[in-house]
Each structure stands twice: as structure tokens, then as C-alpha cells.
Structure 1
Amino acid sequence: MAADVHKKKSWEVPNGSLAPGDGQHTERSESPTPGLAQGTEPGAGQEGAMFVHTRSYEDLTSPEDGAAAARSPERRRGEPAEQSSMEQISKDFSELSTQLTGMALDLEEEMRPGKEGKLEPSPQTARRDSVLSGKEEEDMTMDAWRMHRKHVFVLSEAGKPVYSRYGSEEALSSTMGVMMALVSFLEAEKNAIRSIHAADGYKVVFVRRSPLVLVAVARTRQSEQEIAHELLYIYYQILSLLTWTQLNHIFQQKQNYDLRRLLAGSERITDNLLDLMAHDPSFLMGAVRCLPLAASVRDAVSSSLQQAKAKSLVFSILLSGNQLVSLVRKKDQFLHPIDLHLLFNLISSSSSFREGEAWTPICLPKFNSSGFFHAHISYLEQEMDLCLLLVSTDREDFFTVSDCKRRFQERLRRRGVHHALQEALRTPFYSVAQVGIPDLRHFIYKSKSSGLFTSPEIEAPYVQEEEKERLLGLYQYLHSRAHNSSRPLKNIYFTGPRENLLAWVTNAFELYVCYSPLGTKAGAINAVNKLMKWIRKEEDRLFILTPQTY
């Protein structure tokens, strides 16, 4: 029966169009039609999924349920216990803060009672001001500050500044106060502000996640929904450093608490996340890209990770840059793509992880926002861009987890895949020329059931950074039209002076393709058929089809 399910069968796009076929095809086909059932498209895992099952973009942006998770008396197996003691929470964050800034922040000291029992800043505050003032300042009256295409602000419900993408938070405190006044004014009328659309294409988008308010002012092709999605990433980034439990406890104790003092030194992580979202389509697609790798090599790596396990391990992840090489998870425990993106961002934002073995607390907010895991982060070798991330539930298990890394490296050498990994790292991206379609310039393909996507290296004529950003902007435009909440589209053909683009969204996959401007619509549709056949042919190299568990 299993052989029948995975049997390949040739399909052609019917009548040279992208019209949905009749019925749902359950076989794995070389060229899927829009009626193809989810789980049988190219890139779909054949033996289960690695990530939380997210059928659509809308699933990725579902409202935060951290409050419910924190109040729930039941915990999923393998999740870390909730840290109810402020002493324990302080110790956890001090470890992470030391990793980021070289100085430990004591939350208990920061929140110590004053003479009248009120919470007030400690004398250590003055020593931390130097960390806060290290951020490059831009005056909001300067033209350079106004010319940025996107600003991001985070503030507390009391109007206290928490983060600003550009400029000094202190200088922008009055501006953030106005933002909070807008939010409060509409809430007093039992309403909520979501966005403001101004002249010249400016959008002001608000996201309320108590006790924080996140605001973006953007002049891009992104929709309101996509900008809100990026703001949620910033919110989850803050939770990954503090946990939802700790964040709420702080503001319950002191509503006008200055959260910047606790987050001092982590600004570059948030800055790096915003930079990644501006250039990496992973965030737009809500999916993870795999390093192109021969299936036999990837299977050997995954098997080695699987065997180098410990009782406290929940996830073992091998990555290269922002591409996934292998992921092994504890049975019945699923990672969310957003959590994996945050882990990628943490590693890419600091070069200190290359210097040795790091043991740092990390919250995975989409998995469990109420407590910390502890992550062992290290590179296999200095000259290889391969980072091993081992996520444990036991804060005292460093040496056991470190031994897992040693056993993993031994198994890699024993299996003889070390050289193959080095070869794969020399060409971490493939060329669009390998597809063999003359007018094809670039594409992004996402398998919805696996949460993985693939795309070639961006090549000529998109060599300059401005051209790469323009191409991503066009993809953002197509994505926003396809996922418009009031009128979603399944098929889009866009013609422009420099290129033509096609978007095709089904229940099973999403495909965004960029062509030469000299092509025709009929030629583009025929090219899609050839492209889907090529992806099916190469799927075992471009995707992880057989995810492993402990």
C-alpha cells in the first residue's frame, strides 16, 4: 500500500492553464496539479513532518496563545518546567546576558523594593547606561533618519520605549508616547487600531501583545498583514530572551518598568533579525530552506545525530548559515518554523559562538513561551560553516550534551561523510541554469506539508543589492495579493518592464517564479510544468524527506 501511495505518475498541466483539476490526486506525481492533496507535493516528507503542521500563511500568524499556555496546568512531554521563582528566572537571564554583553544583569537587584515598598531602579543602573548608549544615534530631525524605508518601534503599555530600529529610544520617547496615546484613545472607544494608511504609500501598522505594543512605519510593497507578521517576529524575539512568564511578571510588579535595562546588549540580535527579514525569503514564506545535499549524505548525518542522543535532548539541529542540514527531534515534539528562524538569528548575530562551546538559556516561544530550554551551540570545525545546536531541558546537563557532540563527530568520520559535507558547503546554493529553462531567472517553491522551501541563488541581472531587494519586493507584492484576507488569489501573472512574474498557490504548495520580460503567459505556464518536474526529480537533494526522531 505504501508503495502505491508514493508511486510516481506523470501529470501535465491541463489545457495549458493553471485551472484546478477535478478531484484530489493522492499519488506523488512528477508534475503536481492544483488538485494535488497536501502531503504528496514535491518536498513533502514521506515519513512524517519535522515542524508544527502549518497549512497556510495565516496559520503562522495566528494570535499568540502564550497566556493560555502559561496558565495551563498540563505541560507537553519534554517541555521545560515553568520557572516560578524570580531567583531562578534571574539566574537564567543572567547567563544569556553574559553571552550577549559580557555583564550579568541581576533581575532581583534591578527590581528591588524601595523605601515605601515600591519597585525602583538599583544603583547598578548607572553602570548599565553605557551599554544602552552604545547604540548609534540618529536624530529624528535628520533627513537620513526620515529616508529609511521601514522603522520599527517597541514600547510598553505605559508608553516607555523598549526598542527602535534607528535612532535613540530616549530621543524618540515623545513619539512613542503619541503612538501609545493613539492606541489608548481607540481602546477607550472599545475599538482597536490596526493600521494607518498615509500619503506617498506609507503604512503605520500596530500590533498589541500585552504588555507590549509594536509599531512599524513602512514605505514598501509589503501588505499590512506581512508587516504585522514581521512585528510578531520581533515580539517572539523578545520572548525568546525573557519568556512570556517573566515579561508579564515584570510589568505586573511595575507597569512603567524600563525594559531596555533588562534587554541591554540584545539590540544587535533584534537588528540582525530585521536585516534577515529584509533579505531572506524564509520569513516571507514562513518556511525553512535546506542546504542542497545528496540524500545518502543527509541520511548519514541524520542517523549520526539520532544515535548521539541524551535523555534531556529535545532537538538536535545541524545548520549552515541560514540553511538547515539536518534536524532530529524527540518523538511527538514538533518545532515551529518561527522558533527555528529565531535560533538561526541568534547564531548568525554573534561570532562568539565560533570560539568554543556555548551553553545558553533560550525560550522557544511557539513551542512553550513560559520557560527556558538550554542550548549547546558550537561549530564542528573553525574552517567549516557547520553549526551544531543541541536543545536540552536540563540546565545542569552541559557535559552530557557536550559529549553528544563528540559522539556525533566520531560517527561522521566513521561513516566517511565529512568530505561530502565540505564539498556541499563550497556550493551552498544551486544555479537556476540547472533547471534548463531559458527564460527562467529565479523561483521560490514551498511545500506546505513539510514547512520547507527551495530557491536558487539570485543571479544576473539581480547582482546589485538594490536589485535583489527589488526582486524580493516583487515577491512580497505577489505574496500579499495571494494571501489577501478579503480577496485571496490562487493564480497571478504579473508583467513589468524588467521581468514577468507568476504566483501559483494551492492547498499543497506555493510557487513564485520570475521570468524574462520577453516571455509570454503561455510560455510561463509551460515553464511551470517543466519546473515542477525538475523539483520532483531533485526533491531528495533539496528537501528532507525522511525526518528522524529519537
Structure 2
Amino acid sequence: MHKSENRGSWEFQPEETLIEDSGEFPSCLAQADLNGQNKDPSAGCAVDVPGPSYQNEDIMSESWRQHRKHVFVLSEAGKPIYSRYGNEEALSSTMGVMMALVSFVQAGGNTIQSIFSDNRTVVFLQNGPLVFVSVSATRQSEQQLRSELLHVYHQIVSLLTQASINRIFECRKNYDLRRLLFGSEKILDSLLDVMDSDPGFMLSAVQCLPLPSSSRDVLSQILQKAVTPNLVFSFLIANNRLVSIVQEKTVLEDARLKPSDLHLLFNLIRASAFQAGEIWTPICLPLFNHDCYFYAYVAYLDPPECTVCLVLLSTDKEAFYAMAECKRKIEEAFASQNALQCVSNTQMSCFDDVGLANLRHFLYKPSNVQEHHRQLPQFTCPEMDVAYRTQDEKIHLLDLYRNMHNRIHSTSRPLKLIYHSAERETLLAWVTSKFEMYACFTPLITKKSAISELTKLLRWIKKEEDRLFICNLPKYSTTPQPGRSSTDRGRSDRQSASDTGLLSLL
């Protein structure tokens, strides 16, 4: 029997009860449903990731030692849970040493944070009963590595919820969490891979697909009209970039979606191998509410290309067919208005006509310019220059950006402008009260010329702002309740949540 928390017109379900003797748990892998018909957990996992797997890599080999970054997850009891490279069972003794270090420092009343050597940085993060360790040969700072470990923790919470993890280890400190995470290792692999190549994690922002504001408004209006009770958020995603987002009116202002939650949602979709059909799966958004599930309906709208994805988040676990009906209405409206054509024809921000001869690439994040940027932090960047086409070259450029980001946001000596000339490129980082900018130029450009080109670029971005960013978050109402304000609804819900013992959404 489930308790529920009411929030306006929709109902938020807490996590299911763990069946201790069998280890069954309604993770997103256990309940993923490709066609809306097969909901038997024994039917197999709907989430898979094509590409190399390092799970069985020999931990004694030189190739294992040469990976630029290792990530380990273990329990307080020293039980191995996850390793990015190599089998975690084979690494149990190594993880035991890590836990011994954590326990030894804790015995002295302190918390171990990091260990530095000539060519490695070891960073520790403990969240509740889970311990995360990053061993990095990159130039990333301790804080950046810890932030990545926090994303890994949030990804695990998105599958199990924080309340369930805590409850499991309160009852059984030696519990093997791999029983519940079986099959989800590739989701964590995918997350760690994308964090190396997506600057959105560094900037704590989401990248939007450049689109004329009129076209984006048409798409948002279609999403607004296809609603059903307990539908809380509707997203349209193309090529892993946000196209449109609409939300239920009863979602209070201080219960906003955070970029981190969207990154986890995008990663789950990215890690899914399905091309046709639908997925119906529970997912927890940790920064929205770390103890409860949403139920996500995921389907592509343009098979067989499968580049435009619809995501509907509901608080009703029985709402699959209602979500499928919303999708049908959206497809009909898109077809009648030829709405998907504008998405498929769009190009990433091209600045060739701005007259910037030396600019290769840039990252731009507005800061407190308008209300919509505070609602959902966003950034924009073009496709990488021909000098950064391979994966190694892309990672090289992002490593330079991370180094600049760390220096300009230093807690001991924050800066506003950095000009850095290297052998292969020149970089400039610039932070003001209105924006945050990182730019890469050809190696011989002068500081004066770099600032001059950035000034031209800023004028162009200002002119194109409505195309590059989502400038408002449309809202809809599924079950209007006249005479009752959102604030009153939130107040009564907080009282209700207190009565039932569940955490509030806020």
C-alpha cells in the first residue's frame, strides 16, 4: 500500500518497498517498458549502451593503469559497488584499502578529502552509506573531480532514491548494492564518458537547440495542449539538446528543475538502445526530490532517424496509456503543422558571418540577464572547429576550458579576465555580472585583438538571444482549481506532507 503526497492537482509517489529476501527493486532497469505491454521485470533490461566495455579489463595490465581517470564506488563496509574500468570484484582488495583510509581518518575526527602525488589526484566523497573515489591523471581541480563524483551519486539516486539507499544500509550494513544496480553499470559508464565531453556539467547549465523563437513557440504550444492529470513536465529533445520544456502551473517557483537533474535524464535517454516503441520507467530527480519517483514516458517522434525525443514526466505510475495518448496528440499536431521540419533543418550556432577570423570555439553562459536564465541556467556553443574534430582533440580543448574555469572561479583568488597563450591555441576567459565566456583563438592572436573579436561576438549573441536560448518556460494546468492559489496549495500540501511523514517537494 502506497502513501502519497498531494501537490496541487498531481500526486507524487514515494519509492516502492524493497523485497529483502529476493533483492527485487523497481529501478528504471527493472520496469523499463519498450512497448507499453511488457511490464514483467524478468523480461530483461531495456537500457543498453553500444560501444566498448571495460568491465572485464585485466586490472594488472598496463592499459588499465594508463586510463586518465578511474572512478570507484563502495559501501561503508568496504563492499565494492562499481568501477569504471575492470571488474569491481577483482578490485575488492583495492577498495578495501580505500575504505581503510577513510575509516582511519574518521577515527581521528576528520574527513579525508584528497591525496596528491606527482601525476595523480585522488579525491574522496562520502554521501550517506556510499563512498566515491576518483583517481585522476587530468589537470582537473579537486573541486571539479568531486563535482563529477556527486553526479555519479545522483545518477545512482535517480535509480534507487536516497531514502531507499539509506534504509537498505540501516537494516543491512553489508548489503551488496550491485544486486539492485545490476544492468545499470552502462548508465554510469555513459555518464562518466559524457562528463568528459559535455561542458554543460562544468557550467552547471543546459544547452538548447538554436531555433527561431516563433518555431519554438509553436512547439511549446503543442506541448501545452497535450496534457493529462498528473503530467508535471513535458520535454522535447533533439540531438541531446533541449528544444522545449513546459511545466504544470502547480510546480512552485522554488521547486524548479536543476540542470543536474536534466543531465541525468538526458543520460538515461542517451544510454538507451531503443529506436522505436516507448519506454515507461521510474526515475528520481535528486535535486528536485531525492526520495520520490517520477514516471518517465520516452518516445522518439521521427523514426527511423530517432533524433527528436519526447519525454513526459508523470507522478502516476499507472499513467502509461494516458501519456501514450498525449504523444499521439502531439504527433498529430506536429504532422499537421509540419513542426518537426524546423527542428531537423536547424543548425548549431554558426558565427562565420560575424567576421571573426581568429575565433575557433567558445562557451557562453548568460548570468541573471532575464528571469528565464535564473529559472533554467543555459549555455550556447558552436560545433568545434576543424582543429578539434577527434575525440582526443575535443577532450584536450575541454580540459583547457576546465583549467580556465577553475582558475577564474578560485575561492582564494577569483578573477574576472584570463588571457592564456599556449602552443596550439590562445584562450580567454571573461566573467562579468551578465555573462560567463570561454573562448579559443588561433595561437598568434594578441590580447587586444581577442577582446575586440569577443566584443563583436557578444553583440551577435545579444542579437540572436531569442534563437539561442529558451526565453520563457510555458506552463499549463491539468485540473484547474478556481479560488485556490498556488501558494495556498503549497501551504496545505506541506502540512499534508508533514502528516504523512513524507518529504515535501521543496
Partner of 2:174: 256
Partner of 2:219: 301
Amino acid at match of 1:187: Q
Query: Post-superposition shift, 1:213?
Result: 0.4
- The question of 1:344 aligning with 2:251 is answered no
Query: Post-superposition shift, 1:334?
Result: 1.7
- Give SS of 2:96's match: helix
- The question of 1:463 aligning with 2:389 is answered yes
Amino acid at match of 1:257: Y
- The question of 1:371 aligning with 2:292 is answered yes
- Give SS of 1:369's match: coil
- Give SS of 2:412's match: coil
Alignment of 1:352-391 (within 5 A): 352=274, 354-382=275-303, 383-391=305-313
Query: Post-superposition shift, 1:309?
Result: 1.1
Partner of 2:490: none
Partner of 2:415: 489
**1:21-74 superposed Cα distances (whole Å, 9 cap, x missing partner):** xxxxxxxxxxxxxxxxxxxxxxxxxxxxxxxxxxxxxxxxxxxxxxxxxxxx98
46, 70, 73: which is aligned to 1:151?
70
316, 326, 331: which is aligned to 1:404?
326
Partner of 2:196: 278
- Whole-angstrom distance in 2 between the partners of 1:440 and 1:348: 30
**1:291-337 superposed Cα distances (whole Å, 9 cap, x missing partner):** 11111111100111011111211110000122001010122252111
- Whole-angstrom distance in 1 between the partners of 2:23 and 2:257: 26
Partner of 1:241: 159
Amino acid at match of 2:165: L
Query: Post-superposition shift, 1:94?
Result: 5.5
348, 356, 379: which is aligned to 1:453?
379
**1:67-104 superposed Cα distances (whole Å, 9 cap, x missing partner):** xxxxxx98865562334744699876156325399997
Partner of 2:89: 170
- 8 Å contact 1:444–1:453 — kept in the other structure? yes
- Whole-angstrom distance in 2 between the partners of 1:315 and 1:246: 24
Please say which of residues 404-413 and 382-391 is displaced more in the overlay: 404-413
Partner of 2:429: 503
Query: Post-superposition shift, 1:415?
Result: 3.0
- 8 Å contact 2:31–2:280 — kept in the other structure? no
Label 1:263 to 1:367 Cα distance change in 2 as closer, same or farther (>3 A). same
Unpaired stretches in structure 2, ≥5 consecutive residues:
43-52, 477-506
- Give SS of 2:401's match: helix
- 8 Å contact 2:280–2:296 — kept in the other structure? yes
32, 35, 43: which is aligned to 1:99?
32
- Whole-angstrom distance in 2 between the partners of 1:387 and 1:545: 21
Label 1:312 to 1:223 Cα distance change in 2 as closer, same or farther (>3 A). same
Query: Post-superposition shift, 1:528?
Result: 1.5
* Aligned-pair Cα RMSD in Å: 2.3
Please say which of residues 176-185 and 503-512 is displaced more in the overlay: 503-512
- Give SS of 2:32's match: helix
- The question of 1:218 aligning with 2:136 is answered yes
- The question of 1:518 aligning with 2:444 is answered yes
- 8 Å contact 1:500–1:517 — kept in the other structure? yes
- 8 Å contact 1:432–1:440 — kept in the other structure? no
**1:409-458 superposed Cα distances (whole Å, 9 cap, x missing partner):** 2222333323222212xx3x233424321111100001234100000000
Identical-pair percentage: 50
- Whole-angstrom distance in 2 between the partners of 1:538 and 1:448: 16
Amino acid at match of 1:485: T
- 8 Å contact 2:235–2:311 — kept in the other structure? yes
**1:120-139 superposed Cα distances (whole Å, 9 cap, x missing partner):** xxxxxxxxxxxxxx963122
- Whole-angstrom distance in 2 between the partners of 1:163 and 1:84: 23
411, 414, 419: which is aligned to 2:341?
419
Label 1:301 to 1:262 Cα distance change in 2 as closer, same or farther (>3 A). same
- Whole-angstrom distance in 2 between the partners of 1:308 and 1:507: 38
Amino acid at match of 2:394: K
Partner of 2:496: none
Partner of 1:479: 405
- 8 Å contact 1:203–1:218 — kept in the other structure? yes
Query: Post-superposition shift, 1:466?
Result: 1.7
Amino acid at match of 1:316: S
- 8 Å contact 1:359–1:377 — kept in the other structure? yes
- Whole-angstrom distance in 2 between the partners of 1:313 and 1:103: 21
- Whole-angstrom distance in 2 between the partners of 1:547 and 1:481: 33
Amino acid at match of 2:445: G
Amino acid at match of 1:418: L
- The question of 1:82 aligning with 2:14 is answered yes
Q: Could you list the runs of 4 or more consecutive aligned residues of structure 1 that deviate by over 4 angstroms after TM superposition?
A: 73-79, 87-92, 100-106
Partner of 1:138: 57
- Whole-angstrom distance in 1 between the partners of 2:15 and 2:424: 55
- Whole-angstrom distance in 2 between the partners of 1:456 and 1:359: 33
**1:377-404 superposed Cα distances (whole Å, 9 cap, x missing partner):** 0001213410000000001111111111
Please say which of residues 83-92 and 320-329 is displaced more in the overlay: 83-92
Aligned length: 446
Query: Post-superposition shift, 1:506?
Result: 2.3
- Whole-angstrom distance in 2 between the partners of 1:84 and 1:104: 16
Partner of 2:489: none
Amino acid at match of 1:381: D
Query: Post-superposition shift, 1:105?
Result: 6.6
- Give SS of 1:361's match: strand
- 8 Å contact 2:105–2:111 — kept in the other structure? yes
Amino acid at match of 1:437: L
- The question of 1:395 aligning with 2:317 is answered yes
- Whole-angstrom distance in 1 between the partners of 2:257 and 2:23: 26
Partner of 2:486: none
Partner of 1:161: 80
- Give SS of 1:461's match: helix
- Whole-angstrom distance in 2 between the partners of 1:448 and 1:251: 41
Alignment of 1:121-132 (within 5 A): none
Label 1:314 to 1:528 Cα distance change in 2 as closer, same or farther (>3 A). same
- 8 Å contact 1:290–1:452 — kept in the other structure? yes
- Give SS of 2:433's match: coil
Amino acid at match of 1:414: S
**1:488-542 superposed Cα distances (whole Å, 9 cap, x missing partner):** 2221111111111111122332100111111111111111211110101111111
Label 1:250 to 1:261 Cα distance change in 2 as closer, same or farther (>3 A). same
Amino acid at match of 1:166: Y
- Give SS of 1:213's match: strand
- Give SS of 2:29's match: helix
Label 1:91 to 1:381 Cα distance change in 2 as closer, same or farther (>3 A). farther
Amino acid at match of 2:324: S
- Give SS of 1:355's match: coil
How does the TM-score come out when normalised to structure 2? 0.84
224, 240, 248: which is aligned to 1:322?
240
- Give SS of 1:93's match: coil
Partner of 1:47: none
- Whole-angstrom distance in 1 between the partners of 2:160 and 2:402: 31
- Give SS of 2:12's match: coil
Query: Post-superposition shift, 1:286?
Result: 0.9
